[in-house]
Amino acid sequence: MINNINVALIGNPNTGKTSVFNALTGLNQKVGNYPGITVEKKIGFSPLNKLTKARILDLPGTYSLNASSMDESLVVELLLNKNDPDYPDVAVVITDVENLKRNLLLFSQIKDLEIPTILVVNMSDQISRSGIKIDVKKLKEKLNTEVILVSTRKNSGLSDLKKALADYRMLSIKPFLDTKIIDKEYFESLQLAFPNQSLYKLWLVITQDINFTKLDRQKVSDSSAFRSLPKSQLKNLQQRETIHRYKLINQILKETYKKKLEEATDLRSRLDNILIHKFWGYVIFFFILLIVFQSIFEWSSLPMDFIDNSFNKIGEWARENMPRGILNDLITEGIIPGLGGIIIFIPQIAFLFLFISFLEETGYMSRVVFLMDRGLRKYGLSGKSVVPLISGTACAIPAIMATRNIENWKDRLITILVVPFTTCSARLPVYMILISLVIPDNKILGINYQGLSLMGLYLVGFFMAIASALILNRLLKTSYKSYFVVEMPNYKLPLLKNILITVWEKTRTFITEAGKIILAISILLWFMASFGPGQNFLNADSIIIEKFSEEPMTDIELDREISTYRLENSYIGLLGKSIEPLITPLGYDWKIGIALISSFAAREVFIGTLATIYSVGSDDQETIKNRMAGELKRDGTKLFNLATGISLMLFYAFAMQCMSTLAIVKKETNSWKWPIIQLLSMTVIAYLAALISFQLLK
């Protein structure tokens, strides 16, 4: 029988925790959310030996158990709650070989929770290069635990880690620090009041904002057996605790850890002088963005054409080989075009995540965060707001979750409200198809117009976020002053395995989540487009034949007129016609109107919706791009011209168009007030931008 154990990976940010997680679990991992909250939860599985399997939980990065953010509070709550199904049998604290002293603070606190704890010294391949010497044997003795050197780059130490995890019951749970040393009188009275409880756990319950254990925080504070302290004194005791811990850590490292002093002019310093320069830093970042968006267009064209043609052939094969009837129509006119309209964009989405992951792995993204902090302060955003704004290029939902590490409520609220302006990957399919339709595939000085347009849309979204933040900063008043601290990790060559796993996980999540929505909407749209009320829909054939009886028309032209008339009088056509007066000034027809409404569920549904609508009743085996390119207005001109294309792109650049994001905003702000304000204001901005651009360009 296989024995399953819970393993918690814990560590400071930028210690390589994700690399260790990926090395242990590979693709055998899943991403979800913690129950009841929106913080990302990564769980992986790893066989340790024939009898033991580890369920590994990758916890959010934290500097200590004195939580100052919601992510850190989550770690504390889990480690204090033995009834939680994720409560670890063994904790693995990941440390960076070059920042061991600071990392050991967190290790010492977890050790005091009497949880079996393993210390992993990561990036051990840098030991000799950095002039570091570690006496591992003595370090084990001093810390009273297992210490393992690991290098995920060289794949070393992982087998030792697995063995230590399998034998976790052999680990000592003796505390690192005698808690009473912080304040003998106070902690002795606390122990008298609760003799059967761990003293350090009691201390954390008193000082942290938690509300889940059998030991009620209020009962602890109100107990008459010991004196209750005001917050200022508790803070002083926390500081005293940290000092005592560092005294012990310094003594241990003095005997076990040696590091040569580095020259100030090392490679890292020289690179930082350029990459975070107050002028050249922005120039370099701009050109990196330009390269990214150029590459997305250049590299993805071949796989996109392959996917497009493949779905075209699948639809043709299904139409010819399946029995005629409703099921044939549903599959060939609803499901296949709808799914094809989103799967075609897998290459661009994968390349976007590839570049983002590469920049994060090298350590460059932390420099971007630091660089942007200078400019964001004047607009009312915290330096920590940069992380959500940048991660919003993948998806607004985890980006809004990432605001949990912003302590100041005003900064956090402003960041939550403006993050959806950042161009997410769900907008990418809309941008890609529209750019390819209305922007010429020409180059100037080797720079592709289409790639330049894509970068422009990302910048437009970012600058709108900044402008909105400035307005909100003036409207929301507070006297609280926030400070920005970010760690600059060492530059390193990215691990290909980490990049590929990130691309796989993010792309798979995007496709599966979008696929569910699109499949459901495609079926609904097909039904609404294939059926309709009244005689106009039922008698479409006879009405059109009579109408064009005196005009010379081929059978193909006549069938097309019948299909168009039937579609206009279907349920979906009547719905589209009802909103057409509102969207006509933007350059849109009723079909685009239907796509706008359906894409409120998710922006990427826009393309799938048009693919479904244009396929209903049509025997043409054209790609979605060709169908859109051939769509005409009543006056015979192209529907998707430059004016309409720019109008649509600006609408999607500024509109919310995402039900899930609104739900997350409601959950994070604990009110419907802010998501409603956000939805209405973004819709008004999007409508006005689309209206002005179309009227100017038409």
The pLDDT of residue 225 is 46
The pLDDT of residue 143 is 92
Q: Would the pTM of this model clear 0.95, i.e. be above it?
A: no
Task: Tell me the β-bridge partners of 134.
Answer: 257
8 Å CB contact between 282 and 599: no
Here the tokens at position 556 are 């193909």
Domain that holds residue 356: 280-475
As to burial, measured by CB atoms within 10 angstroms (0-12 exposed, 13-18 middle, 19+ buried), residue 581 is exposed
Where are the alpha helices (H) located in 531-632, listed in sequence order?
534-538, 540-547, 555-568, 571-583, 590-598, 605-615, 624-629
Contacts of 27 (CB under 8 A, 6+ apart): 501, 504
Report residue 428 CA to chain centroid gap.
Answer: 15
Here the tokens at position 552 are 């010379």
d(CA 85, CA 55): 11
Here the tokens at position 104 are 């050991």
Q: Please, what's the b/e burial string for 123-143 (b: 16 or more CB within 10 A of its CB; e: otherwise)?
A: bbbbbeeeebebeeeebeebb
Task: Tell me the β-bridge partners of 149.
Answer: 121
Q: What are the DSSP calls for 648-689, one per residue? A: HHHHHHH----HHHHHHHHHHHTSSHHHHHHHHHHHHHHHHH
Q: At 528, which amino acid appears? A: M
Percent of the chain as helix, strand, coil, to the nearest 5: 60, 10, 30
The pLDDT tens digits for 50-97 are: 889 999 999 888 888 887 767 777 888 889 888 889 999 999 999 988
d(CA 105, CA 247): 10
Q: Which three-class secondary structure state does DSSP give residue 168?
A: helix
Beta carbons within 10 angstroms of residue 696's beta carbon:
10
Q: Is residue 466 part of a domain?
A: yes
Q: Is residue 305 part of a domain?
A: yes
Beta carbons within 10 angstroms of residue 336's beta carbon:
23
Q: Is residue 18 part of a domain?
A: no
d(CA 357, CA 14): 14
d(CA 404, CA 234): 24
Segment 468-475 long-range contacts (CB within 8 Å, at least 24 positions apart)? 468/417, 468/418, 468/421, 469/376, 469/379, 469/380, 469/381, 469/385, 469/414, 469/415, 469/418, 470/379, 470/380, 472/380, 472/413, 472/414, 472/417, 472/418, 473/379, 473/380, 473/381, 473/414, 474/380
Q: Is residue 286 part of a domain?
A: yes
Contacts of 82 (CB under 8 A, 6+ apart): none
Q: Is residue 471 part of a domain?
A: yes
Report residue 304 CA to chain centroid gap.
Answer: 24
Q: Is residue 45 part of a domain?
A: no
d(CA 686, CA 691): 8
Extract the runs of DSSP E, i.e. beta strands, from 124-196: 132-134, 146-149
Q: Which three-class secondary structure state does DSSP give residue 134?
A: strand
| Short-list 201, 196, 175, 179, CA closest to 188 | 179
Here the tokens at position 112 are 């005091």
C-alpha radius of gyration, the chain, whole number: 30
Q: Please, what's the b/e burial string for 562-580 (b: 16 or more CB within 10 A of its CB; e: otherwise)?
A: bbebbbbbbbbbbebeeee
Q: Which three-class secondary structure state does DSSP give residue 189?
A: helix
Q: Is residue 185 part of a domain?
A: no
Question: What are the Cα distances from residue 133, in Å, to 97, 98, 129, 257, 266?
Answer: 10, 11, 10, 6, 20
* Residue ranges in the chain modelled with pLDDT below 50: 32-38, 211-218, 220-225, 263-265
Q: How many separate domains does the chain show?
A: 1
8 Å CB contact between 197 and 206: no
Q: Is residue 482 part of a domain?
A: no
The pLDDT tens digits for 163-214 are: 999 999 999 999 999 888 888 888 888 888 877 778 888 888 888 755 444 4
The pLDDT of residue 295 is 77
d(CA 556, CA 459): 45
d(CA 620, CA 508): 31
d(CA 694, CA 316): 37
Q: Please, what's the b/e burial string for 415-445 (b: 16 or more CB within 10 A of its CB; e: otherwise)?
A: bbbbbbbbbbbbbbbbbbbbbbbbbeeeeee
Matching residue, tokens 């990427």: 604
d(CA 88, CA 56): 9
